[in-house]
Structure 1
Amino acid sequence: MADKNIEEQQQELLEKYDSESRFRVFKNKNTALFIKVFAILIGFYHLYVSYFGTLVTLKHRSLHVAGILALTYFLYPAHKNADRKKMPMYDWFLGLLSISTTVYIFMDYLGIVHRAGLPNNLDLFFGVVLIVLVLEAARRVTGFALPLLGVLFIAYALFGRQMPGFFGHRGYGWTEIVNHLFVSTDGIYGTAVGVASTYIFLFILFGAFMGKSGMGQFFNDISLALAGHTKGGPAKVAVIASGFLGSINGAAVANVVTTGAFTIPLMKRTGYDAEFAGAVEASASVGGQLLPPIMGAAAFIMAEVLGIQYKVIVMAAILPALLYYLGIMTQVQMRASKKGLEGLPKSQLPKVRDVMKERGHLLLPLLFLMYMLFFTGKTIIYSAFWTIIVTIGTSMLRPTTRMSLKDIIDAVYEGTRSVVPVAIACAAVGPIVGVTSITGFGLNMAHAIVSLGGTSLLFTLMFTMVTCIILGMGLPSIPAYLITATIAAPALVRLGIEPIVAHLFVFYFAMFANITPPVALASFAAAGISGGNPMKTGFESMKLSIAGFIVPYMFVYNSALLLRDTTFIQGTLVTLTSIIGVIMLGSAAEGYFFTSMKRAHQLVLFAGAMMLISANLLQDVVGLVIIVVILVLQWSRAKKQNIIEAI
């Protein structure tokens, strides 16, 4: 009964802060069965093409979008207060209308190809239908922000002649816009949908199979076994478990609610206050999307957008992500030391040996995935397919993780259902990316950002950061990255920054929109569990994530941090100075090292840590000297306090 209450509370929180979780639960068994079978067929289609190869691009992407659109109208009601136990006739109609868009493309594919750029009336009709259906589906699933952006960009394409200054363009007619968004691979059926219909779909399915095999429980148990007994242990458990899970599922709010239901009460019981406990969970969950190898599927999208190998993205992202988590861990440790918080008794914790014996084999699919991606030369899609098969086989090794046929079918259904919000968001990004490509808006925006920044790289980076956080508010991680990559990243590339560096920079800050007030959904969800103040939890999350706000600037000024084009000695030096800088940043933010710091010492230590950002050797030396001086003063002060207490 208690478990049921916890599940109900989790679902309520998810529905409150995550519109993606407000799907229907049908009262009519026949309707529920039909929807489930429909979703399972979509899932098996994607598994089939991942092994045997996809149809031609336009057919495959249109079939993917049509299936996901129909599933959206079947699963998601038109508004919050709608009855979620039955489906109105208009949603049946909208679902069938969604299917008609791909039926039309299959029936007249050669005609559409031959007419390229000269659409007939039926092309325009189905084009308008598709655009409206995608925007409405995005409203139901993600809220108003994304479809509103889509509408604004379409209006921008229509009325470009009336736009002032360098944002003006020649303007496009409705026929041109609809044709571009409907039948080209630069519109709704563009790169975002291409990635959603392959990489994202398969890796979300992989996450669903891992969940069914008990991977979530394994991460919780191994985190408890490794860190639960240490100073402030439950907070470290939250950081480790949420980081691992976040990398696989890429859903910050869902990760907060599922993992946080276990970790946040533990943190509060140990002595952390409600806001800090919620902030630890929120910042760790968001950071999972920055953590290789999967990065919530962002690594695969970035590789596709940039046209580079997946493993290049992973190698570039790994050190900054570890520095981000080091920053959180430092503050957790310092807060525990400052407040005298202890860990959990070892007698109450699982043993590493027992956890590994019972569920350690669940790591094999992840190791297999790494092998396939890094050493075999196989495609990402092919590797993902076989990783899912290996996951099923591996689960059979122990009775506690064994998946039945029902579990496998349910994993396909739940995975497909989980794909819907991301896939719809990727389709809804189509009008934004499509309009940007034909109007040159990205270049104009880049010009505006560079103009605001003037000749200062720092100011340009700051304006880009703010732009990314604003654009990422309330959006799932994948569309948030795609939009910022389209609009904000070109500004940095224009300044001579490498594309991979620019894209990682905007990706970081698009993710941080989830913990940055006033719209900090991950922080607000964590506050719902901890009982803390939502806005205070948001600001506490920002403080805990301070390394994440600084690290992107570090790798822009010093790309050696991404371990690219650098010697072993250079890489080692930049890693060491970065580790020192991040630890000192965390200590300065928390105001503790050996003992509590004076405010002046905090500020000086922060300045010393910031000196380690650039690749300038003189600044590094000055920064290190400042840090050593502050630490000596802190050590001396702590020693005096100990002597006084002893007396």
Structure 2
Amino acid sequence: MLRSKLILWISTIIGLYHIIIAGQFLPQLGFFIPTQIHLAISLTCALLIIFILFRAGKKESSKIPFYDYLLIGCSFVSLGYVIFFYERVLQYSQFGFLDKTGVFLAVLLCIPLLEAVRRKTGWVFPILILSLVSITIFQKYLPGILYGEGYHIDRLLYSAFVGSSGIFGLPLKVATSILIVFLIFGALLERAGAGKWFMDVALSLTGWSKGGPAKAAVLSSALFGSISGSPSGNVATTGVFTIPLMKKVGYTPKFAGAVEATASTGGQFLPPVMGAIAFVMAEWIGVPYAQIAIAALVPALLYFLIIFVSVHLQAYKEGIPALPRKELPNFWNVFSAGWYYLIPIIALVYFLIVKGFTPEISGIYSLPFLIGCSFLSKDRDNWLLPKNIMLSFETAVKGWVLIAVVTGAVGIMVGALELSGVGIKFSQFIIDVSGGNLLLTLLLVGLASLILGMGLDSIPAYITLATLVVPALIQMGIPDISAHLFVVYWGLSSFITPPVCIAVYVACGLSGSKVWETGGEAVRLGIAAYLIPFAFIFSPGLLLKGSVSDIAIAVITAIAGSILLACSIRGYFIKNMNIVERVVTSIAGLLLIGPGILYPLIGFIIGIVVLLWQKFTKVKSNTELPGELPN
């Protein structure tokens, strides 16, 4: 009880501190905190929370073991030096090397940082970081693209501890300014009851149709997944409601789990928040956030269109009935009971897009709207009074500590890549293997993104890919936003692609299905994650770039192609399809999504032929009478 209260108060203080810093309130009062000191304070808070709450092994215990006190002490000594002796840290930057004290302090920070990442994410990411560090140290003994000059450990630690791309680099800056603000926004929205309202609205809109609960799962998971920032976390949150409901109406457990996994993963593609990846991308590329949100809109909608049509067709294919209207909430009753939840979201979009404020300022300016509208709820439990606000801060901070330590640890990796040059060499290697062919380069980058993204959460996956493989696409002449969105889709597809499909694992725990069969369904449902990136590379109109006619043609043909792809995947158009019909329909769908006018025109003709054939064979089968029995 004492520990839980302590965490509640610490989380509240951490949340308030970051709002004050992100909102730039201190400079208005004449106080200024250097960025590196702020980052050190934030990282200290994150490491403290992790070592208080999470044990080294699988066994949970409220008692903190002695070695965790040692790790906390190491963190405090190293980060405390940055906070209280900031000028000496600046001198390291000027000298270009670390003395023995600096090396000692860097080690004291790297060890607890990597251990914190391991506890929260598993072994994959720490092993990746240590592998790249080892490559940097032993480069002169390695073959091929890994060969290089090699650097001593003290030079590597300098890059991690002091370098501009190290622990205190851009990823941690984004985590301690933008991401924590949006996690607080999302936690307050959920605490105010918006999550249940989103689900009820989606169910009232779609529940009356065949496969209604699955369609509601797609809508609600898309909306809330965009804000939550974690595919697996969103599955665990919304899947508790959606998966049992899908199973209740007749969907198989594997299909129900796959729908939730793919929809929750797709939330990371969907503006306005895009699971906070868009904010990291905007800082990385150096463009306004609005450009990324606008460019990402149509591909995200196509992704969900394929899932939505797929669950609709599956309902017809399996004869799954609609829910009785008497069991469904009335839309207007539901909407009128929670319409005010739209106020803070509209305010957020207004500040982000219309006013063009920075993401963190937009998020902070939207908080008063969110807190104020909560008092319009008839349920007093949804009112954002101090207790609920504190509980929201606790939820947000517990989710943020993972992002903080991961983005800090990413700095070790990025620093090692910059020294070794492996990132540039890797990109050049891809181009060399592809022979400069754009399509082959895209295939190799996609495959590399899928593999490198396995086992990582969305933000570290994106940062890793932006460092290693995006340069290959940019070198091929692909615009920055297109290149980064390409690796986002392929990297996050690892959440639904076996064997390391984290979102599917979580969904299986709720649906009771097996991982491989659910993962197979998820791959089919989420086929857009693999195909749509190729479409917007070859057809920029899908990113809303080009003339109005180019954009209109690209969007309309892509919508038609997406529907045909969904039909071929589910094996149902206006009736069940045989293997030949499915293959032909797939070809038609791919051609419609393709660039230019000729390919979509061919796809359109093929699609019409398939449709007419399906109608003809269906009518024929309905009109044929069974043959008479012989006398």
Q: TM-score, normalised by structure 2?
A: 0.95
Map of 1:113 onto structure 2: 90
Q: Which whole-Å deviations, capped at 9, do the CAs of 1:265-286 have from their partners, x for residues lacking one?
A: 1111211111111111110010
Contact preservation (8 Å) 2:436, 2:476: no
* Match for residue 600 of structure 1 among 580, 583, 587: 580
* Match for residue 537 of structure 2 among 543, 556, 577: 556
Distance of 1:367 and 1:96 partners within structure 2: 44
Distance of 1:503 and 1:645 partners within structure 2: 58
Map of 1:7 onto structure 2: none
* Match for residue 307 of structure 2 among 328, 337, 357: 328
Report the alpha carbon displacement of residue 32 of structure 1 after superposing the two structures with TM. Answer: 3.0
- Which moves more between the two structures, 628-637 or 165-174? 165-174
Q: Which whole-Å deviations, capped at 9, do the CAs of 1:606-639 have from their partners, x for residues lacking one?
A: 1111112332322221111111111110111122
Map of 2:207 onto structure 1: 228
- Which moves more between the two structures, 303-312 or 353-362? 353-362
Report the alpha carbon displacement of residue 237 of structure 1 after superposing the two structures with TM. Answer: 0.6
- Which moves more between the two structures, 432-441 or 586-595? 432-441
Distance of 1:90 and 1:219 partners within structure 2: 44
After superposition, residues 275-286 of structure 1 pair within 5 angstroms as 275-286=254-265
* Match for residue 52 of structure 2 among 66, 70, 74: 74
Contact preservation (8 Å) 2:258, 2:507: yes
Q: Which whole-Å deviations, capped at 9, do the CAs of 1:214-260 have from their partners, x for residues lacking one?
A: 01111110011100111110110110011011000021112112211
* Match for residue 449 of structure 2 among 468, 475, 487: 468
Distance of 1:378 and 1:506 partners within structure 2: 27
User: Does 2:227 correspond to 1:248?
Assistant: yes
Report the alpha carbon displacement of residue 115 of structure 1 after superposing the two structures with TM. Answer: 3.1
Distance of 1:321 and 1:641 partners within structure 2: 39
Helix, strand or coil for the counterpart of 1:434? helix
Q: Which whole-Å deviations, capped at 9, do the CAs of 1:169-214 have from their partners, x for residues lacking one?
A: 2111111111110022211111110110111111011111011100
Contact preservation (8 Å) 1:246, 1:255: yes
Structure 1 pair 336/644, CA: closer, same or farther in 2 (3 Å)? Answer: farther
Distance of 2:236 and 2:356 partners within structure 1: 37
Letter in structure 1 aligned against 2:135:
Y
* Match for residue 547 of structure 2 among 553, 567, 586: 567
Distance of 1:175 and 1:297 partners within structure 2: 34
Map of 2:14 onto structure 1: 42
Distance of 1:35 and 1:183 partners within structure 2: 31
After superposition, residues 578-617 of structure 1 pair within 5 angstroms as 578-617=558-597
Contact preservation (8 Å) 2:222, 2:267: yes
After superposition, residues 343-492 of structure 1 pair within 5 angstroms as 343-400=322-379, 401-492=382-473
Letter in structure 2 aligned against 1:102:
L
Q: Which whole-Å deviations, capped at 9, do the CAs of 1:260-310 have from their partners, x for residues lacking one?
A: 121111111211111111111110010011110001101100100000000
Report the alpha carbon displacement of residue 165 of structure 1 after superposing the two structures with TM. Answer: 2.4
User: Does 2:209 correspond to 1:237?
Assistant: no
Distance of 1:469 and 1:525 partners within structure 2: 19
Map of 2:475 onto structure 1: 494
Report the alpha carbon displacement of residue 646 of structure 1 after superposing the two structures with TM. Answer: 11
Contact preservation (8 Å) 2:199, 2:220: yes
User: Does 2:598 correspond to 1:618?
Assistant: yes
User: Does 2:313 correspond to 1:313?
Assistant: no
Map of 2:189 onto structure 1: 210
CA RMSD of aligned residues (A): 1.5
Q: Which whole-Å deviations, capped at 9, do the CAs of 1:374-414 have from their partners, x for residues lacking one?
A: 12232221111121222111111223232221101111111
Letter in structure 2 aligned against 1:68:
A
Report the alpha carbon displacement of residue 457 of structure 1 after superposing the two structures with TM. Answer: 1.8
* Match for residue 103 of structure 1 among 70, 80, 86: 80
Map of 1:12 onto structure 2: none
Structure 1 pair 37/236, CA: closer, same or farther in 2 (3 Å)? Answer: same
After superposition, residues 115-264 of structure 1 pair within 5 angstroms as 115-116=92-93, 117-264=96-243
Q: Which whole-Å deviations, capped at 9, do the CAs of 1:352-379 have from their partners, x for residues lacking one?
A: 1111111110111000000001122322
Contact preservation (8 Å) 1:330, 1:583: yes
Letter in structure 1 aligned against 2:119:
R
Distance of 1:574 and 1:332 partners within structure 2: 25
Letter in structure 2 aligned against 1:327:
I
Contact preservation (8 Å) 1:153, 1:431: no
Contact preservation (8 Å) 1:70, 1:94: no
Helix, strand or coil for the counterpart of 1:595? coil
Helix, strand or coil for the counterpart of 1:593? coil
Distance of 1:148 and 1:593 partners within structure 2: 47
Runs of 4 or more consecutive aligned structure 1 residues displaced over 3 Å after TM superposition: 644-647
Helix, strand or coil for the counterpart of 2:436? coil
Distance of 2:152 and 2:339 partners within structure 1: 59
Map of 2:29 onto structure 1: none
Contact preservation (8 Å) 2:253, 2:512: yes
User: Does 2:32 correspond to 1:60?
Assistant: no
Letter in structure 2 aligned against 1:262:
F
Report the alpha carbon displacement of residue 454 of structure 1 after superposing the two structures with TM. Answer: 2.1
User: Does 2:528 correspond to 1:540?
Assistant: no
* Match for residue 84 of structure 1 among 49, 52, 61: 61
Report the alpha carbon displacement of residue 432 of structure 1 after superposing the two structures with TM. Answer: 1.3
Q: Which whole-Å deviations, capped at 9, do the CAs of 1:436-455 have from their partners, x for residues lacking one?
A: 12222211010111122223
Q: Which whole-Å deviations, capped at 9, do the CAs of 1:551-605 have from their partners, x for residues lacking one?
A: 00101111111012x1111111110000001000110111111111121111011
Contact preservation (8 Å) 2:489, 2:533: yes
Distance of 1:250 and 1:115 partners within structure 2: 36
Helix, strand or coil for the counterpart of 2:595? coil
- Which moves more between the two structures, 266-275 or 309-318? 266-275
Distance of 1:331 and 1:642 partners within structure 2: 25
Helix, strand or coil for the counterpart of 1:513? helix
Unaligned runs of 5+ in 2: 27-31
Report the alpha carbon displacement of residue 96 of structure 1 after superposing the two structures with TM. Answer: 3.2
Report the alpha carbon displacement of residue 100 of structure 1 after superposing the two structures with TM. Answer: 2.4
Distance of 1:605 and 1:456 partners within structure 2: 28
Contact preservation (8 Å) 2:201, 2:334: yes
Report the alpha carbon displacement of residue 106 of structure 1 after superposing the two structures with TM. Answer: 2.2
Distance of 2:556 and 2:224 partners within structure 1: 27
Contact preservation (8 Å) 1:71, 1:95: no
Report the alpha carbon displacement of residue 488 of structure 1 after superposing the two structures with TM. Answer: 1.2
* Match for residue 289 of structure 1 among 243, 268, 281: 268
Distance of 1:192 and 1:163 partners within structure 2: 29
Letter in structure 2 aligned against 1:69:
L
Report the alpha carbon displacement of residue 30 of structure 1 after superposing the two structures with TM. Answer: 2.8
Q: Which whole-Å deviations, capped at 9, do the CAs of 1:17-67 have from their partners, x for residues lacking one?
A: xxxxxxxxxxxx333333332222211110111221672221111111121
